[in-house]
């Protein structure tokens, strides 16, 4: 019934839109800068924990100019619960100074400029471009990478290859919402422990004859 990646992608796209018609950005923020900081903090950390930390951080400083005046040690103390605190604090301080000095205290609206900032990789830049500026992007984290493998939408060996494959399969106009929908579905129905490729609704629908757990490339 769903013999090809294109057929499977069409089902996934339609079903996720039904389940999550209006997905919200899971990281609390109020502008592109606070979104950028929240996404940076979410590396190897849950969104729930980030949302617990950012109110205190943004109360202390919520603009690049304000953050640039805060000592790195103070930033580190606030963001410590998110893990990797020394690196994240240096990145937050460094990118804030660059935004003030080179971008008029505004978050740039290009991938190249974003990825040139300290601590900002392609995934972080993709989230900001898509969710803050509405530019079509398909941020792929480890969980989306695993979902795409379970649903046989990719043979990618890493998130970069998986992102390439997903962009080919799904309409560009759907990327921004689909990224969020996959995040929510993965958390609620197809978790690393809760579904091995044989349990959740989408896995069972796409592969009703599947009996063995899917081994995914991390």
Catalytic residues: 123, 141
Q: b or e along 126-151 (b: 16 or more beta carbons within 10 Å of the residue's beta carbon)?
A: bbbbbbbeeeebbbbbbbbbbbbbbb
The H-assigned helical ranges of 61-198 are 64-68, 72-79, 85-102, 111-115, 122-133, 142-150, 159-169, 175-188
The count of residues in the chain is 218
Q: Residue 139 in contact with residue 121, Cβ under 8 Å?
A: no
Encoded tokens for 38: 């929240």
Closest by CA position to 178, among listed 126, 124, 122: 126
């Amino acid at each position: 019934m769903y013999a090809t990646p294109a057929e499977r992608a069409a089902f996934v796209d339609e079903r996720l839109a039904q389940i999550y018609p209006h997905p919200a950005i899971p990281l609390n923020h109020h502008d592109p800068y606070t979104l950028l900081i929240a996404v940076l903090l979410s590396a190897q950390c849950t969104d729930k924990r980030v949302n617990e930390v950012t109110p205190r951080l943004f109360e202390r400083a919520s603009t690049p100019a304000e953050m640039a005046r805060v000592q790195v040690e103070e930033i580190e103390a606030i963001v410590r619960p998110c893990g990797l605190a020394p690196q994240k604090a240096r990145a937050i301080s460094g990118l804030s100074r660059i935004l003030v000095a080179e971008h008029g205290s505004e978050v740039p609206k290009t991938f190249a400029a974003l990825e040139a900032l300290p601590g900002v990789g392609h995934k972080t830049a993709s989230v900001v471009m898509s969710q803050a500026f509405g530019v079509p992007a398909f941020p792929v984290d480890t969980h989306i990478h695993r979902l795409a493998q379970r649903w046989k939408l990719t043979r990618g060996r890493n998130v970069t290859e998986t992102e390439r494959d997903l962009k080919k399969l799904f309409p560009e106009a759907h990327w921004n919402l689909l990224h969020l929908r996959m995040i929510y579905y993965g958390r609620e129905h197809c978790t690393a422990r809760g579904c091995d490729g044989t349990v959740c609704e989408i896995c069972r629908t796409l592969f009703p004859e599947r009996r063995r757990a899917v081994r995914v490339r991390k």
